[in-house]
Structure 1
């Protein structure tokens, strides 16, 4: 969830910077970019803590769910297009994660 939020923050910051004619420096002037960076730090700490108790082979596939949550969040919150092909690909990834999680349970 944090990964999805931080990616949305980066996208909003870059959109705002582009609208103002700024590049990377313009994006770093956006509060949303710094919120994304803060979420990245929190996510990194949470990831290390999660790996203390979970095997990497079990935890990592869950991270792949961002291939599902990011396109859906972009569609719902940023009004970006979402093709049927992207929906199918995301669904296949979600099914793969479910298969991996079910096998290790």
Structure 2
């Protein structure tokens, strides 16, 4: 693969990160302690599945143009976005150790991103 990370591809990767985060939020919101069949009947479950399909298509486009060694580590931003979404939407607590881990993931992504530009 001779491709590199261009600004449009970086934008598409960030789109994938946002769609993945939205998917996880939908699945979390739809999740319950009731049987799986009840969860499958919820519209948010199906919205999450739709986000999954959208991400699959966008991610395939990314992988056709960007080396996996650059694209995949940048997708780690989804960990950061999902933690932030959990804190904002579901009022989940983030302790110091958790915040430190998120910071380290972000720092690693920055290093990979700077390498690919």
Query: Given the two structures, how large is their TM-score scaled by the length of structure 1?
Result: 0.90
What residue number does 2:76 align with?
64
What residue number does 2:28 align with?
11
Is 1:74–2:86 an aligned residue pair?
A: yes
What residue number does 2:14 align with?
none
List structure 1 segments (4+ residues) > 6 angstroms apart after TM superposition: none
Distance 1:13 1:52 in 2: 33
The answer for unaligned runs of 5 or more in structure 2 is 1-17
Alignment map for 1:35-46 (pairs within 5 Å): 35-46=47-58
Question: Which residue among 62, 72, 90 is the counterpart of 2:102?
Answer: 90
The answer for unaligned runs of 5 or more in structure 1 is none
The structure whose RCO (Cα within 8 Å, separation 6+) is larger is: 2
CA-CA distance at 1:25 after TM superposition: 1.1
Query: Given the two structures, how large is their TM-score scaled by the length of structure 2?
Result: 0.81
- What is the number of equivalent residue pairs in this alignment? 100
CA-CA distance at 1:26 after TM superposition: 1.2
Q: Which moved further from structure 2: 34-43 or 57-66?
A: 57-66
